[in-house]
Amino acid sequence: MPAINETEYGSLSQSPYGILRILGGWGNVSGPGLVMFRSMIAGTSTAMILGITASMASSLIWGTATLPFVVFSSLGFALGSARWYMVSSQEALLQLRRYPALLRMHIVANFPWLPEYAARDLAWFTPERFAGGWVRRSVLVAGWLSAQPALDELHSQVQAAIVQKYVDEAPGDSEAQAVHGTIKT
């Protein structure tokens, strides 16, 4: 059994999923695991809203709320999860158009048991191809979720460049004072 050196342990314990890797050997929870977790959060929150709203309305009308709560909370879970999946799919397709290499890397890393993705070149990873069926779309959503930290960093860098451009183009002190009317003539 190979020994884990300190730097390997340190990098495992510092990642957000490090404890899962250390304790259970679950090294790849970020893609498919995040899809399930976020879908459950979206479904549960919608289920609570619809279930409680229906139970309040039915208790005012009929004096009981059990069956309306069960029906509408179940409906809310299904609708919330489906809506989350549709919105996430659209966002993932948009990010695939912008950053195909990044999403390809995350898809290959999250789905090593699907070798067809690793065998394809970068030109194959297009939004049109992934929009076609639910399997590819689901794979893309999982890859997009695991790529979120990198996408957030890219967004921050682009935002910083835009802000810096505005700072560089800002008028000098005398021009700014003239614009704001603080120069006395």
The pLDDT value given to residue 182: 57
The pLDDT value given to residue 8: 40
- The answer to whether the beta carbons of residues 177 and 183 sit under 8 Å apart is yes
The amino acid at residue 13 is: S
By residue count, the chain amounts to 185
- In tens, the pLDDT along 106-161 reads 999 988 889 999 999 999 999 999 998 999 999 999 999 999 999 999 999 999 99
- In tens, the pLDDT along 24-39 reads 445 545 677 788 888 8
Query: By CB neighbour count within 10 A (0-12 exposed, 13-18 middle, 19+ buried), where does 171 fall?
Result: exposed
Give percent of the chain with pLDDT exceeding 70: 76
The better pLDDT of the pair 27, 67 is held by: 67
pTM: 0.69
- The answer to whether the beta carbons of residues 87 and 93 sit under 8 Å apart is no
Mean pLDDT check: name the lowest of 68-77, 85-94, 161-170: 161-170
Give alpha helix (H) positions in the chain.
Answer: 6-14, 18-24, 32-61, 66-98, 100-110, 115-119, 127-130, 134-146, 148-168, 173-180
Q: Which two tokens stand for residue 183?
A: 């120069």
| Angle subtended by helix axes 66-98 and 134-146, to nearest 10 | 80
Alpha carbon 58 to chain centroid, angstroms: 36
